[in-house]
Amino acid sequence: MKELNEVDRSEEFIKLLAEHERRLTAYVMTFVPRAADADDILQETKLGLWQSFDQFVAGTNFGAWARQAAFNRILDFRKRKGRESQHLMFSDCCIENLAVAFERSEGLMDARFGRLTHCVAKLPSEHRQIVSLRYHDSKSVDEIAEKMSRSVAATYRVLSRIRLALRDCILEIGGDSRLQSEPIQ
Amino acid sequence: MNNKDRQQIAHWVELLLDDQISAAEFEQLEQVIANDSDAQDLYLQLRYLDARLLLDGVHLAATRPAVRRDDKVSTANGDTRTANRHQTISPTRRFIGVLAIVAVFPFLLVWWAMPPRDVPSVIIAEITDSSDAVWAECMLPTAVGSQLSAGRLKIDRGLVTIRFKSGAEVILESPAELQLETAMRGTLHAGIAVVEVPESAHGFTIATPTAEAIDHGTAFAVIVDASRNVSSIEVLAGEVEVRHAKTDSSRRLFKQQHLTATEDKLLESTVPPTDLESKTAIRDVPSDLSFQRVTTAMGHGRDATISRGFVHGHKSDGLVLIKNPLEGYDQYSRKGYFSFDLSSISNEQVAAARFVLTLQPSGLGFASRVSDCSFTVYGLTNEARDDWSTQHVDWQTAPANLSGATELDTNQVQKIGRFVVTRGQQYGQVAVEGQELVDFLNADTNNSVTFIVVRDTKEERENGLVHGFASRTNAAAAPPTLLIRAESAADRR
């Protein structure tokens, strides 16, 4: 990248980051439960990516490079905040295993997530409403329980079932529940 | 991993996401995922799914049932944990704003220092037409009828019409990239936008990397040549104020006046820059702005599938299914019926029209087992039969229907046009337009028109795809649509 002038380099960086922004954000959120923490880590990561952009080799995998940088910051963050945090945290060993597992299936997951809207649309109407309350209207589980006239425990259960169904649909595991072939004619 | 284990992990993930998992449960979860790669994958996929659902909230808008959008997040016990998860999903949106600027480092620093904003989930616009559009990567849904919140739209081919909630209409001509910011403002990063602004939206602004055009009445065109970082603004009717981004200088332009905004200044000229001149041929486009949209979900509109035989389980909510089956399997024949309520079009003469269907996977049969398929659209000329009902219509009673998969009573219908769905195509839009359609609509006397669609291409192998088209009840895709331009509307120009 060194032969590029400052503006070209900035443009190239902006372009690459724009392409990978959503996936990088989702990656950090996968490892960091609290969004405020994820936001901080993302900010630091992006600044770090820019500052070390000279080291990025054009044409190589920007996504993997950015995830590695983000993961290093996640580890730093855990060290910094770990002792003072009230929140439960996986061991370093466990989180590193997860990072390796993520890289193993990243391609599969990412390619499949284009199906998300389709899979949400296929949910039964009540489940779609719950997804909408949760993710579009930012309702808490307590509020969803009240709105749907369910207990909080039942709401957690239904949310977990919805999430599994969406995951199976996205990854097309066990077949698309509505996919039927015409009978052999 | 058995189903019980899967459900247990999913339940723990749910509690973890909500910060409600106990220390004992957390320890159990860690033990399960420590060495089991399937459990690790499942855990990661569920967490990644949560992240994507949070980030893709705008996409979900197209699939959601009717729920109020303006509810505030608060609970009786003051628990704001869920709200907190959502309030910081802003980096994507914050980032996109930066794309408006030619990237220079100081800007990046300013952006990163900006405080987080709330998620802008408010609907600010709608895609009202999409002519032969091929989309590039977008943050927003792209089907006709999609409700749009703030975000970016990028189109590689074709034309797209976006109606902002303020009433302003923007036609994007590809290749183009538009950032939707509020109901009164967008930023064109590249390409051509033709803007028509009703009185209710005076002040509507289209920004470019070098300037912003503020409407003071009617219509203007904006062209951004991103490679040269130059914008051109031309007034088609009325008055527009143009402000330069860098110098803050401004000019007022009137009909047929235009100017060019470079990075350094505003250049007034009577002739557009040579290399932009050809692009201003877009002036022909505004006639499209006066298209009115009618769907089968409006008024007395209807749509339905009729099947020759009852096929258990072979129904699909939200879709109209059409099929011309293999010889000898006639019970699988299906035709589509579409009725539009034209009362909103009043008695004006139709000058141009387009009948648009949105393809959706039916989940029935295999796309690979059918070749390119040709469909014919017929208009029902026997108006006495326009009153068919979705509850009672079937193969025997459907207007003009005859027994063959493509057969209709030619005394009761007229051919409107054809479209082709290529092999493997299960998304996108197909359309029919032309004089036959215009004549058919102008011949209508009862404010109701019925179209019948049949598949001409017969299946040559078993298990072929049943073609699905979004119906008026489809949760995600645009319903069958008629776009109509009435003569008097065109005359306004």
Task: Enter the ipTM.
Answer: 0.88
Condensed to tens digits (0 to 9), the pLDDT of residues B28-52 reads 898 888 878 889 989 999 998 898 8
Does the beta-carbon distance from B88 to A38 stay under 8 Å? yes
Segment B454-471 mean pLDDT = 87
Segment B202-209 mean pLDDT = 90
Same domain? A25 vs A68: yes
Weakest-pLDDT range from A3-17, B136-150, B274-288, B464-478: B274-288
Same domain? A67 vs A120: no
User: Of B87, B98, B314, which is closest to A14 when you measure between CB atoms?
Assistant: B98
Does the beta-carbon distance from B59 to A129 stay under 8 Å? no
At which of A74, A89, A104 does a domain end? A89
Does the beta-carbon distance from A50 to B105 stay under 8 Å? yes
Residues of B in contact with A87 (CB under 8 A): 19
The reply to whether B125-286 and B296-491 are identical in fold is: yes
Residue A110 forms part of a structural domain: no
Q: Which of 149-168 (A) contact B at CB < 8 A?
A: 156-157, 159-161, 163-164, 166-167
User: Of A7, A42, A164, which is closest to B6 when you measure between CB atoms?
Assistant: A164
Segment B118-132 mean pLDDT = 69
State the pLDDT at residue B221: 87
Does the beta-carbon distance from A182 to B137 stay under 8 Å? no
Same domain? A27 vs A83: yes
- pLDDT above 90 coverage of chain B, percent: 28
- The residue in chain A having the minimum alpha-carbon distance to the alpha carbon of residue B58 is A136
State the pLDDT at residue B132: 63
Does the beta-carbon distance from B10 to A161 stay under 8 Å? yes
Residue B66 has pLDDT above 90, yes or no: no
Does the beta-carbon distance from B51 to A156 stay under 8 Å? no
Residue A22 forms part of a structural domain: yes
Does the beta-carbon distance from A33 to B17 stay under 8 Å? yes
Does the beta-carbon distance from A125 to B65 stay under 8 Å? yes
| Single-letter residue type at B309 | G
Does the beta-carbon distance from A160 to B92 stay under 8 Å? no
Distances in Å between the Cα of A66 and the Cα atoms of A4, B47, B408 are 20, 19, 60
In this prediction, residue B296 has a pLDDT band, given cuts at 50, 70 and 90, of very high
In this prediction, residue B469 has a pLDDT band, given cuts at 50, 70 and 90, of very high
Residue A178 forms part of a structural domain: no
- pLDDT above 70 coverage of chain A, percent: 84
Does the beta-carbon distance from B366 to A171 stay under 8 Å? no
Condensed to tens digits (0 to 9), the pLDDT of residues B384-398 reads 999 999 888 999 999
Residue B70 has pLDDT above 80, yes or no: no
Touching check for A171 and chain B: CB below 8 Å?
yes
State the pLDDT at residue A136: 82
Does the beta-carbon distance from A132 to B73 stay under 8 Å? no
Same domain? A79 vs A126: no
Same domain? A76 vs A148: no
Residue A179 forms part of a structural domain: no
User: Of B49, B75, B105, which is closest to A142 when you measure between CB atoms?
Assistant: B75
Domain range for A156 is 115-170
Question: How many folded domains does chain A comprise?
Answer: 2
Does the beta-carbon distance from B50 to A29 stay under 8 Å? yes
Residue A163 forms part of a structural domain: yes
Residues of B in contact with A14 (CB under 8 A): 98-99, 103, 108
Does the beta-carbon distance from A36 to B52 stay under 8 Å? no
Q: Which of A81-90, A95-104, B81-90 is modeled with the greatest confidence?
A: A95-104
Task: Could you please state the CATH topology (level 3) that the domain comprising B125-286 is classified under.
Answer: Jelly Rolls (2.60.120)
State the pLDDT at residue B258: 82
Same domain? A122 vs A84: no
More confident call, B25 vs B137: B25
Task: Give the count of Cβ contacts less than 8 A between chain A and B.
Answer: 258
CATH code linked to domain B296-491: 2.60.120
Touching check for A135 and chain B: CB below 8 Å?
yes
Does the beta-carbon distance from A11 to B102 stay under 8 Å? yes
- pLDDT above 90 coverage of chain A, percent: 18
Residue A42 forms part of a structural domain: yes
List chain B domain ranges.
Answer: 3-55, 125-286, 296-491
Condensed to tens digits (0 to 9), the pLDDT of residues A113-160 reads 778 888 888 888 888 889 988 988 888 899 999 988 888 888 999 999
Touching check for A46 and chain B: CB below 8 Å?
yes
Three-state SS annotation for chain B: CCHHHHHHHHHHHHHHHCCCCCHHHHHHHHHHHHHCHHHHHHHHHHHHHHHHHHHCHHHHCCCCCCCCCCCCCCCCCCCCHHHHHHHCCCHHHHHHHHCCCCCCHHHHHHHHCCCCCCCCCCCCEEEEEEEEEEECCCCCCCCCCCEECCEEEEEEEEEEEEEECCCCEEEEEEEEEEEEEECCEEEEEEEEEEEEECHHHCCCEEECCCEEEEEEEEEEEEEEECCCCEEEEEEEEEEEEEEECCCCCEEEEECCCEEEECCCCEEEECCCCHHHHHHHHHHHHHHHHHEEEEECCCCCCEEEEEECCCCCCCCCCCEEEEECCCCCCHHHCEEEEEEEEHHHHCCCCEEEEEEEEEEECCCECEHHHCCCEEEEEEEECCHHHCCCCCCCCCCCCCCCECCCCCCECCCCEEEEEEEEECCCCCCEEEEEECHHHHHHHHCCCCCEEEEEEEECCCCCCCCECCEEEECCCCCCCCCCEEEEEEHHHHHCC
Residue A10 forms part of a structural domain: yes
Segment B466-490 mean pLDDT = 82
Residues of A in contact with B310 (CB under 8 A): none
State the pLDDT at residue B286: 35
In this prediction, residue B335 has a pLDDT band, given cuts at 50, 70 and 90, of very high
In this prediction, residue B454 has a pLDDT band, given cuts at 50, 70 and 90, of very high
User: Of B34, B48, B363, which is closest to A176 when you measure between CB atoms?
Assistant: B363
Q: What is the CATH number of the domain that holds A158?
A: 1.10.10.10
Cα distance between residue B490 and residue B439, in whole Å: 17
Same domain? A20 vs A79: yes
Does the beta-carbon distance from B365 to A166 stay under 8 Å? no
Residue A102 forms part of a structural domain: no
User: Of A10, A139, A156, which is closest to B14 when you measure between CB atoms?
Assistant: A156
Touching check for A35 and chain B: CB below 8 Å?
yes
Same domain? A119 vs A164: yes
How far away is chain B from the Cα of A124, in angstroms, using its nearest Cα? 11
User: Of B14, B23, B363, which is closest to A163 when you measure between CB atoms?
Assistant: B14
Residue A26 has pLDDT above 50, yes or no: yes
In this prediction, residue A108 has a pLDDT band, given cuts at 50, 70 and 90, of low
In this prediction, residue B54 has a pLDDT band, given cuts at 50, 70 and 90, of confident
State the pLDDT at residue B425: 73
- The residue in chain B having the minimum alpha-carbon distance to the alpha carbon of residue A21 is B92
Touching check for A29 and chain B: CB below 8 Å?
yes
Residue B26 has pLDDT above 80, yes or no: yes
Touching check for A91 and chain B: CB below 8 Å?
yes
